[in-house]
Structure 1
Amino acid sequence: MRLRTVLATTTAALAAATCLTAAGPANALENHACSPSVSIDRFSDALDKTTYDGTFAGNFSALAVDRDGSLAALEDRSSLFSLDAKTLQPKSVVRLADEKGAALDSEGLVIDGDGTRLITSETEPSVRRYSPDGKILDRLPVPSSLLVAPAGRATSNQTFEGLTLLPGGHTLLASMENAISGDSPTIVRFQTWTRTKGNHFRLAAQYAYPLDPGLGVPEVQATPDGRLLVLERGFTSGVGNTVRLYLADPRHATDTSGIENLTGQAGVRLIRKTLLADIVNCPSLGATAKQPQPNPLLDNIEGMTITGRDARGRLKVLLVSDDNQNAAQTTRFYYLRVRI
């Protein structure tokens, strides 16, 4: 998302973390706890304010693990980087564009089983399929209500931020960042598509996700059991960012694709969510912030991917912040372990 802020109004988000950094490796996981379900191993600012092949290596909005084990990092100004999974150093970059050659506001990323890239843009919004070298192969249909006004009811720059492929590879899910007009401001729509012949996708069910007041959804990732990791994020000027990680279950939610206005009416089962961690409660690990933050570890976290499991069965989750190419922000990678 190009705008720097999504205002958070909840006072609970303003509390500073008081956790201490680990003193030794033996107790690293316990002392690095953000909550009973989430711990942080480390962070890296290796790419902060760097360039590669003449392209700024920042503005990151999404992450994915590629088929060769490298890390794909999407920046919201139409570039897709390939990064070394261990060092984070860029190996290549591909420029993206729409059908007319115009830049995207590229936000969500999925690498499909055949290596093609599914990428959202907040501009319309849209979901396109690209070849690894950046050629457009397909464009998915989008419900008219989710289009940016006046074509639809969405607000510019508040549309498809997250994208994920559910287990089995048959269902694609995109998360709207904020509510569309006519819906409650604390409800956002998650749109799905079903795979058809030739690796095309048709529109499928839509679900309603309940937001914390003042926050939006910058990213969503499917877990191996079909639930979702959902990031909620906001910003309060002079205070800093709020970033919370939720586990959400859409499997028994109501299909809201035929419901014009979502205002909390009876009979609509929302996606159920459980807080895994408020990132403000993670130990800072010696991180520094370039602007006020309730925890100096925090920044404008926007991208997320699951990179595997550890020996204890916890998900290894990688987050990245979008620095908006701004001197007061940092491109930072966060290495989490998540028990679901």
Structure 2
Amino acid sequence: MRLRTVLATVTAGLAAASCLTAGPAAAAPARNNACSSSVTLDRFSDALDKTTYRGAYVGNLSALAADRHGDLAALSDRSSLFTLDRRTLRPTGVASLADEHGAALDSEGLAVDRDGTRLVTSETEPSVRRYSRTGRILDRLPVPSSLLVAPAGRATANQTFEGLTLLPDGRTLLASMEYALDGDSAGTVRFQTWRRTGDGPFRLGAQYAYRTDEGLGVPEVQATPDGRLLVLERGFTSGVGNTVRLYLADPRHATDTSKIEHLTGQPGVRPIGKTLLADIAACPSLGATARQPQPNPLLDNIEGMTVTGSDTRGSLRVLLVSDDNENPAQTTRLYFLRVRTESRGTRS
């Protein structure tokens, strides 16, 4: 998300695929780095912080996605799309993105399709567009009118599509709104899907309600191999720092809310169930330092997430990244997690 402060009313209270290494400035792996019974932090890396590549600032990172060739795509909310080397995580390419009129995007969500094209959300309208690896715009997906920024719809500027993920079937795309629409209950955000048949275009699909913890928004969502979702919830309190929590969510039994105008406690509407996997503030700091107050110096403005594989025990290897907003007081930091998702129940 671009330079803005998200005020939360609450305070803060896997490693990448086996071929990935943290590179310079990374904390060394240690034993028993548990954040919870389900999540372990292997290490972190500040190697990309305040760096440039071919004249582009390697920061403002709002999304990550695993490329089909094993490398990583990293999206800046300033319209830059980076390719990161799978071993060093250093940039090997950069493409500039723009809309149909050549204007810059507030690019927030990223998914790599099976043909290697990039699906990118922008918070401005909001929108979902498809781009080639080199940044050429290919097409644009339809968006329900209610999700558009007011006065065209009921969304608030800079609080729209933050997360984007392609489900394992390759036919379902899901985008998460960051905050609630006008007329919906506070903390009830909408997840929009698109479906396609074969090699056809994506068409509007079901929509679901997701309830965040008080004061938090959804900066990222990522599909797991079994079709469930990893959901990041995040907030910021000035003088205290960030709150970042990782949830496992299951949309398979949720109510389709695409035809429900206002989500204000209607009977019979079942939101996506969720289970807390970890509060990132509970992770070991591993020697991390912070340039502003934080409940744990490891924390920063975490916005991006991707699943890069699994380890020999079946835990998912999850990579997180923080958006430094090109701010000297913030850090571009990569977090290497191992996440257990088996035998987890859900709660509404």
Residues 75 and 106 in structure 1, CA contact (< 8 A), matched pair in contact too: yes
Distance 1:230 1:248 in 2: 7
TM-score (normalised: structure 1): 0.94
How far apart are 1:198 and its partner, in Å? 4.1
How far apart are 1:135 and its partner, in Å? 1.1
How far apart are 1:14 and its partner, in Å? 3.6
**1:331 maps onto 2:332 in alignment:** yes
Q: Mark the runs of 5 or more structure 1 residues left unpaired by the alignment.
A: 16-23
**1:293 maps onto 2:294 in alignment:** yes
For 2:3, the equivalent position in structure 1 comes to: 3
Moved more, 191-200 or 221-230: 191-200
SS at match of 1:257: coil
Percent identity of equivalent pairs = 78
For 1:45, the equivalent position in structure 2 comes to: 46
How far apart are 1:134 and its partner, in Å? 1.0
SS at match of 2:146: helix
Distance 2:79 2:161 in 1: 15
Residues 12 and 244 in structure 2, CA contact (< 8 A), matched pair in contact too: no
What are the superposed Cα offsets for residues 228-252 of structure 1, whole Å, 9 maximum, x if unpaired? 0000000000000000000000000
Distance 1:319 1:184 in 2: 29
Distance 2:111 2:2 in 1: 20
Distance 2:174 2:190 in 1: 10
For 1:132, the equivalent position in structure 2 comes to: 133
**1:112 maps onto 2:113 in alignment:** yes
For 2:237, the equivalent position in structure 1 comes to: 236
Residues 138 and 200 in structure 1, CA contact (< 8 A), matched pair in contact too: no
The one-letter code matched in structure 2 to 1:317 is V
Residues 179 and 188 in structure 2, CA contact (< 8 A), matched pair in contact too: yes
Residues 215 and 233 in structure 1, CA contact (< 8 A), matched pair in contact too: yes
SS at match of 1:251: helix
What are the superposed Cα offsets for residues 263-316 of structure 1, whole Å, 9 maximum, x if unpaired? 122100010000000000000000000000000000000000000000110000
Distance 2:133 2:64 in 1: 15
Distance 2:161 2:167 in 1: 17
Residues 196 and 202 in structure 1, CA contact (< 8 A), matched pair in contact too: no
**1:245 maps onto 2:253 in alignment:** no
Residues 234 and 242 in structure 1, CA contact (< 8 A), matched pair in contact too: yes
**1:102 maps onto 2:103 in alignment:** yes
How far apart are 1:4 and its partner, in Å? 3.4
What are the superposed Cα offsets for residues 50-91 of structure 1, whole Å, 9 maximum, x if unpaired? 000000000000001112211110000100000112211110
Structure 1: 4+ residue segments shifted above 6 A: none
Distance 2:235 2:283 in 1: 17
How far apart are 1:197 and its partner, in Å? 5.3
Q: Mark the runs of 5 or more structure 2 residues left unpaired by the alignment.
A: 14-27, 342-348
**Within 5 A, what are the aligned runs for 1:137-148?**
137-148=138-149
For 1:21, the equivalent position in structure 2 comes to: none
TM-score (normalised: structure 2): 0.92
Distance 2:131 2:158 in 1: 22
Distance 1:215 1:68 in 2: 35
Residues 8 and 234 in structure 1, CA contact (< 8 A), matched pair in contact too: yes
SS at match of 2:312: coil
SS at match of 1:7: coil
Distance 1:198 1:136 in 2: 18
**Residue correspondences, number:** 327
For 2:73, the equivalent position in structure 1 comes to: 72
Superposed CA RMSD in Å reads 1.1
The one-letter code matched in structure 1 to 2:44 is F
What are the superposed Cα offsets for residues 127-176 of structure 1, whole Å, 9 maximum, x if unpaired? 00111111111100000000000000000000000000111101100000
Residues 184 and 264 in structure 2, CA contact (< 8 A), matched pair in contact too: yes
For 2:35, the equivalent position in structure 1 comes to: 34
The 1:134–1:14 alpha-carbon spacing in structure 2 relative to 1, beyond 3 Å, is closer
Residues 60 and 323 in structure 1, CA contact (< 8 A), matched pair in contact too: yes
Residues 34 and 279 in structure 1, CA contact (< 8 A), matched pair in contact too: yes
